[in-house]
Amino acid sequence: MIESELARRLSIVLVGTRNAGNIGSAARAMVNMGLRCLKLVRPVAEWSEEAVKMASGALDRMDPIQVHTCFDESVAGAQILVGTTSGRERRTHHPVYTPRQIAPLLKRHARTHEVALLFGPENRGLTDRQLSRCRYLVTVPSNDAFPVLNLAQAVMVLAYEINTCEEADREVLPELVTHGQRERLFRHLERVLIRIGFLSSSNPDHIMKDIRRFLGRADLSERDIRILRGIFSQVEWYARHGDRLRPDQVRKP
- Going from the N-terminus, what domains does the chain have, and what CATH number goes with each? 4-164 (3.40.1280.10), 179-249 (1.10.8.590)
What pLDDT score was predicted for residue 214? 85
What pLDDT score was predicted for residue 77? 94
Within 10 A of 47 (CB to CB), how many other CB atoms are there? 14
Give the predicted TM-score (pTM) of the model.
0.79
What pLDDT score was predicted for residue 250? 55
Using the Cα atoms of residue 102, residue 103, residue 108 and residue 114 in order, give the sign of their dihedral. Answer: positive
3-state DSSP assignment of residue 60: helix
Residues contacting 101, CB < 8 A, separation 6+: none
What pLDDT score was predicted for residue 144? 86
Buried b (16+ CB within 10 A) or exposed e, 9-41: bbbbbbbbbebbbbbbbbbbbbbbbbbbbbbbb
Q: Residue-wise pLDDT tens for the chain (253 aa)?
A: 678 888 999 999 999 999 999 999 999 999 999 999 999 999 999 889 999 999 999 999 999 999 999 999 999 999 999 999 986 555 556 789 999 999 999 999 998 999 999 999 999 999 988 998 999 999 999 998 888 889 999 999 999 999 999 876 666 667 889 988 999 999 999 999 998 888 988 999 889 988 888 888 788 888 999 999 989 988 888 888 766 556 566 555 5
Strands 96-97 vs 115-119: parallel, antiparallel or unpaired: unpaired
What pLDDT score was predicted for residue 115? 97
